[in-house]
Amino acid sequence: MCSTSLNPQEKSGKISEPAMPDFKTITIVNSPFYLRHDTGSNHPESSERMTAVMNRLLSEGGAKSGLGLPLRLIPPRMAEREDVVSLHTENYLMRFEEACLSGKEWLGHSDNRISYDSYEAAFLSAGAGLTAIDFLENGSKDPIFCCVRPPGHHAEAALALGFCFLNNVAIAARYWQRRYGRKRIFILDFDAHHGNGIQEFFDEDSSVFYVSIHEHPTFSFPGTGWANDTGTGAGTGFTLNIPLAPGSSDDVVIKAMESQVKPALTAFQPDAMLVAAGFDGHSLDDMSGLAYSTRLYAKLGSYLSVWAGICEDRLVSILEGGYHLEALAAGVEAYLMGLALKV
Amino acid sequence: MFVKDYMTHNPVTVTPDRSISEVRDLLRNKGFRHVPVVDADGRLLGVVTDRDIRSAFPSFLASNEESKGQWERIARTPVEAIMSTNVVSLTGDATLDDALLILDKKKVGAVPVVNEDKRVVGVFSIRDLMRAYSQLFGLAEKGSVLIVLKNRNEIDSLSRILQALEVHNILCTRVVRPIASAYIYLRVQTFNLHAVYAILRQAGFEPVIGAGISQEG
């Protein structure tokens, strides 16, 4: 054995402590009420999703995750009606509420399963983003994650689509602008599916920059998000769609983050950032043909943690899709680890 | 599936006595590239394209001296002198396939649509064709997703697929099984892929997810 391979500590008979990675405290916005949005049996957007993520995160009784991430759990508040009607129509909200209370099984399309409590759960899901924004604006610099359902990014002004009813991210963006005067909002959506709702709401709006990295619309739900959709009118140039071929894995996303997202972010100079965090691009998740690994989510978290410096760490992440329970829980944890890592 | 469903109805036409300059202005102002030439009763005589007009005008490189006389002649010359007379046309009842074959074979960008009296009732362009097929193929139809299955070349596979989907109330807008292809493509109107995959597996089909699709192109 060659002696040069030994490190000096071993020679002196002492082994120093390896440096442990240090994490910021992560705030999780979650409510058990989310479980009461009941989508029936055999539905991919099930309450088990929430349970899987929360069990994973709270595996040491709530103070720390299995990976040792320090956590703080806060309850969401309900979104106010005025927060929601700035985006969704009164008529749609009435139909939605009426459908839930009258015992209908779905809204608009049989995909969008509802139960008696779904309307309230949706307002509580939208409210989590607002709670998170208030928390940050009260002085927190720590990463914050809204662990919510139903998801939101497919929902449009008067349309429930793809298991989504209220557009949580869009509602949060408008709230941030209106309540705190953060004028320029940058949204990154890394769910495997294009967030047609977010794009639609801000299509003509130059104050919100929407970036989506998703499986190509020729193959994937909902069939929108073409690379040449870049916004309309005053919003031209404020939408960036990055469609990926089926089978795309981590390296393609990392390349897109470096070569497309980063320049867009730098040029836009936002006052605040929102992330539509979906975990269905994972290779185990058959709701898309993308082949991401769990590691990618850690990488995305660390990019965002650093890049949020551009807007004084005003960054809120909101859960969207992710339907393979194990991959979802692992993906969320990896993402939070990336977000929280102190460098 | 018919030309009349996608054509421009009651298109702008010109009579053969209009001058080349007038027709040029018309095409420019309207942003058209083709205009049918018709007689007093609206019957098709020919077509003038922006290319016919451009070739009738003097070159920008020509000297003032050279082009001066030509400009005057152009202002006097009726469009009849430069129009194409050997023009193909379609009827409204022609199919989109007829239109595709004609546009491709004749290498033209648009074709006049006439009724049984040869009166011009429409114009059908390549753009109209693209719009029609986009619609028929459900392109950019919100809420749909492509499903790819391995093609085992069983004679009853399409009927089995559709029956399985219909029994479960899953709306399918497109089924494509190219000849000799290893795959069958379906476009379904749902996000509940778990359910669709389960139904199709139960019917004896194997979905292809991810990299397999990109290899097929």
Q: Which of A43, A163, A223 sits opposite B145 (nearest CB)?
A: A223
CB neighbours of residue B71 within 10 Å? 12
What is the rounded average pLDDT of the residues A221-230? Answer: 94
Q: Which residues of B touch A291 (CB under 8 A)?
A: 210-211
pLDDT in the model for residue B208: 93
User: How many helices and strands in chain B, by DSSP H and E?
Assistant: 8, 10
pLDDT in the model for residue B47: 95
Whether the Cβ atoms of residue A147 and residue A319 lie closer than 8 Å to each other: yes
Nearest partner of A66 among A326, A316, A322, judged by Cα? A326
pLDDT in the model for residue B72: 79
pLDDT at A1 over 50: no
* pTM listed for this prediction: 0.84
Tens digit of pLDDT for each residue in B116-172? Answer: 999 999 999 999 999 998 887 777 678 999 999 999 989 999 999 999 999 999 999
Q: Which residues of A touch B146 (CB under 8 A)?
A: 218-220
pLDDT at B212 over 60: yes
Question: What architecture is the B3-134 domain classified under in CATH?
Answer: Roll (3.10)
Range of the domain at A254: 20-340
Nearest-neighbour CA in chain A from B183: distance (Å): 14
Tens digit of pLDDT for each residue in A48-97? Answer: 999 999 999 987 666 666 667 889 999 999 999 999 999 999 999 999 99
For an interface test with A, the pick among B149, B176, B191, B215 (most A C-beta atoms closer than 10 Å) comes out as B191
- Residue ranges per domain, chain B? 3-134, 141-202
For this structure, is A154 an active site residue?
yes
pLDDT in the model for residue A4: 47
pLDDT in the model for residue B141: 72
Whether residue A44 and residue B169 make contact (CB cut-off 8 A), yes or no, is: no
Q: Which residue of B has its CA nearest to A110?
A: B190
A92 vs A102: CA distance, rounded Å? 15
In a domain, A96, yes or no: yes
ipTM of the predicted structure? 0.79
In a domain, A11, yes or no: no
Band (pLDDT 50/70/90 cuts) for residue A297 is: very high
Band (pLDDT 50/70/90 cuts) for residue B64 is: confident
From A37, A88, A153, A154, the catalytic residue? A154
Whether residue B145 and residue A245 make contact (CB cut-off 8 A), yes or no, is: no
Whether residue B191 and residue A286 make contact (CB cut-off 8 A), yes or no, is: no
Q: Which residue of A has its CA nearest to B210?
A: A289
pLDDT in the model for residue B65: 73
pLDDT at A6 over 60: no
**What percent of chain A shows pLDDT beyond 70?**
94
pLDDT in the model for residue B69: 77
Q: What average pLDDT does chain B have?
A: 90
In a domain, A6, yes or no: no
In a domain, A112, yes or no: yes
Q: Which residue of A has its CA nearest to B193?
A: A287
Split into its structural domains, chain A has a count of 1
Whether residue B210 and residue A290 make contact (CB cut-off 8 A), yes or no, is: yes
pLDDT in the model for residue A62: 60
CA separation (Å) from A219 to A48, A50, A52, B82?
27, 28, 28, 48
pLDDT in the model for residue A3: 44
pLDDT in the model for residue B61: 77
CATH number for the domain spanning A162: value is: 3.40.800.20
What is the rounded average pLDDT of the residues B91-98? Answer: 92
Q: Which residue of A has its CA nearest to B186?
A: A219
What secondary structure does DSSP assign to A65-131, as a single string? -TT--BEEEEPPPPPPHHHHHTTS-HHHHHHHHHHHHTT-SEESEEEEE--TTHHHHHHHHHHHHHH
Q: Which of B142, B192, B215 sits opposite A111 (nearest CB)?
A: B192
Q: Which of B141, B146, B190 sits opposite A111 (nearest CB)?
A: B190
* Fold designation for B141-202: Alpha-Beta Plaits (3.30.70)
In a domain, A275, yes or no: yes
Whether residue A42 and residue B189 make contact (CB cut-off 8 A), yes or no, is: no
Helix, strand, or coil (residue B126)? helix
Tell which wins on pLDDT, A126 or B55.
A126
Torsion sign across C-alpha atoms A145, A148, A151, A156: negative
Q: Do domains B3-134 and B141-202 have the same CATH topology?
A: no
Cβ-proximal residues to A68 (8 Å cutoff; 6+ apart), any chain: A23
Whether residue A196 and residue B192 make contact (CB cut-off 8 A), yes or no, is: no
pLDDT at A230 over 50: yes
Tens digit of pLDDT for each residue in B135-147? Answer: 877 776 789 999 9
